[in-house]
Amino acid sequence: MAGQENASVPFSDPLWHKDKFHPYYKDSHQRLQVWMRNYIDTYIEPHAYEWETQGYVPDEAFQRHAKLGVLAASCYPLPKQHLDGVTLPAGIGLSEWDIFHYAIVIDEIARCGYLGVVWGINGGATVGNTPLSTKCTEHQKRKWLAPLLRGEQRHALAVTEPAAGSDVGGLQTTAVKSEDAKYWIVNGNKKWVTQGQFADWALVAARTGGAGNKGISTMMVDLRSEGITRRKMENSGVRSSGSAFVEFDDVKVPVENLIGQENEGFKVIMSTFNHERLWVGIIANRLGRVALCDSYNHALRRRTFGRPIMENQVIRAKFTKMAGLLEATSALTEAVIHMSEQAPLDALSTYSALVKYRAAHDLEKISREAQQVFGGLAYSRGGLGARVEQISRDVRVLVVSGGSEEILMDLVAKRSRGSSKI
């Protein structure tokens, strides 16, 4: 099993796994980590390559994910009032559950090494839950949130467009009220909609007012509605994530499906992005550990000129560099996770952007070094280098999605400069 093989590889797990005096983790976190590792090693990791190759996660696996409470545990904030009988993994009680339990769940799922599976198995819950938990009325939560947590619905987040990505204020999809004021009439195109092929509902960002950020609203749209066309996207990686084009042609959306206030959807999206960027940071850091682990084991097995390649200093140095990147970013991520429940929105958006930029950027470097250790085995799909080869393609979406590297770097620089009065 993967967990057994990884146990002896230095830096293949976060430091807190061996440090009993870590400030953020208690016994319940240790218990959850052990439970999640067994779950992933038994039900997810052995099938991840197959699912990614076929382009979808089987419904049976998704339903098990929901039934065992992992789907609900993958949501932040945890919607404690709407679990409707769903129990959390490892017998963790609601009063014990905190954001570090959530981080452990995401981290362990990412150990499968296939980003498409990570996104596919959660059915859009991880990102789609945030606005539902924080911006919805009680009636809306009962309609969408509870069925999502039970695995009865799959959700998607539809923000990005062909001409609007990190610049959300530039989106062109429109929503205009019908003459009887009962519906929003939605027209436009969305792109790179994760789970868009399979989702039942999508949180859609559309222009309901003037130009820029202040004219945007968000609403829940039934993706089975008349006037909606979905097309599969063929990307370099994440095949099992259900990435899709979604076209809206005079789609009627009941006005009560508005999430939050009219023309204030930008705030809804930003709250989602803060969470998404932390989520990406956790995932990218774990994928880096997967790449380190697989290449480390290969360096012990692979022999050239009569000895294991691990006996070459230049190879050993690669693992030290990987470890340095991973542990520094892990410490930053944990610090921002800790502050995330109390920090003002502006401060959190700055630091979550920094986490996302740093973790994804590091993963690019680690992926390259791991491929160098594997040689041609991490250039061909399948086999010993399969996960490293997959990560080398999946990393590109982590660098771009949720805000491109360049835009996030500039966001951090501008806000830091403003706060320091330089």
- Mean pLDDT of all residues in 119-124: 89
| Per-residue pLDDT, 129 | 86
Q: Round to whole Å and give the CA distance between 122 and 111.
A: 14
Average pLDDT over residues 59-71: 97
Rounded to an integer, the average pLDDT of 70-98 is 94
Residue 68: HSE in the Cβ half-sphere, 13 Å Cα cutoff: 20
Residue with tokens 């198995």: 121
Encoding tokens for residue 88? 């959390």
Q: What structural domains does the chain harbor? A: 1-154 (1.10.540.10), 156-263 (2.40.110.10), 266-417 (1.20.140.10)
Q: Which of 17-21, 73-77, 79-83 has the lowest mean pLDDT?
A: 17-21
CB 260 within 8 A of CB 304: no
Give the Cα separation of 150 and 125 in Å (integer): 10
| Predicted local confidence at residue 160, as pLDDT | 94
Q: How far apart are CA 354 and CA 413, in angstroms?
A: 10
Is there a cis peptide before residue 58, judged by omega within 30 degrees of 0?
no
Long-range Cβ contact pairs of 326-333 (< 8 A, separation 24 or more):
326/11, 326/285, 326/288, 326/289, 326/292, 326/362, 326/366, 327/11, 327/15, 329/281, 329/285, 329/355, 329/358, 329/359, 329/362, 330/14, 330/15, 330/285, 332/358, 333/278, 333/281, 333/282, 333/285, 333/359
Nearest Cα residue to 195 out of 227, 229, 148, 232: 232
For 217-229, the pLDDT digits (tens) are 999 999 999 999 9
CA distance 45 to 39: 9
Q: What's the rounded mean pLDDT across residues 352-373?
A: 98
Q: Can you give the pLDDT at residue 88?
A: 97
pLDDT at 279 over 80: yes
Helix, strand, or coil (residue 402): coil
Which stretch of DSSP H or E encloses residue 259?
strand 258-259
**Is the Cβ–Cβ distance between 151 and 62 less than 8 Å?**
yes
What letter does residue 258 receive in the DSSP assignment? E
Helix ranges (DSSP H) in 90-184: 99-110, 115-121, 125-135, 138-140, 146-149
pLDDT at position 5 over 70: no
Count the Cβ atoms, other than its own, within 10 Å of residue 48: 25
368-418: per-residue pLDDT in tens?
999 999 999 999 999 999 999 999 999 999 999 888 999 999 999 998 887
95 vs 125, more confident: 95
CB 340, CB 358: distance < 8 Å: no
Helix axis angle, 345-374 relative to 405-420, nearest 10°?
140
Residue closest to 246 by CA, chosen among 226, 227, 231, 224: 231
Q: Please provide the DSSP assignment of 285-352 as one string.
A: HHHHHHHHHHHHHHHHH-EETTEEGGGSHHHHHHHHHHHHHHHHHHHHHHHHHHHTTTS-HHHHHHHH
pLDDT given for residue 62 in this prediction: 97
* Torsions phi, psi for 157 (to 5 deg): -115, 115
In this prediction, residue 7 carries a pLDDT of 65
Find the mean pLDDT for residues 294-311. 98
Q: How far is CA 269 from CA 154, 299, 343, in A?
A: 19, 44, 18
Closest CA to 88 of 70, 109, 64: 70
Q: Span 14-34, mean pLDDT?
A: 92
Q: At what angle do helices 313-339 and 99-110 cross, to 10 degrees?
A: 150
CA distances to 59, 63, 165, 246, 386 from 121, in Å: 9, 9, 24, 21, 20
Mean confidence (pLDDT) of the chain: 94
Q: Which residue has the higher pLDDT, 381 or 4?
A: 381
Q: What percent of the chain has pLDDT over 70?
A: 97
SS3 label, residue 379:
coil
pLDDT in tens, 254-264: 999 999 999 99
**CB atoms closer than 10 angstroms to residue 99:** 16
The pLDDT value given to residue 302: 98
pLDDT at 177: 98
Quote the distance between the C-alpha of residue 337 and its chain's center: 15
Whether the pLDDT of residue 355 is over 90: the answer is yes
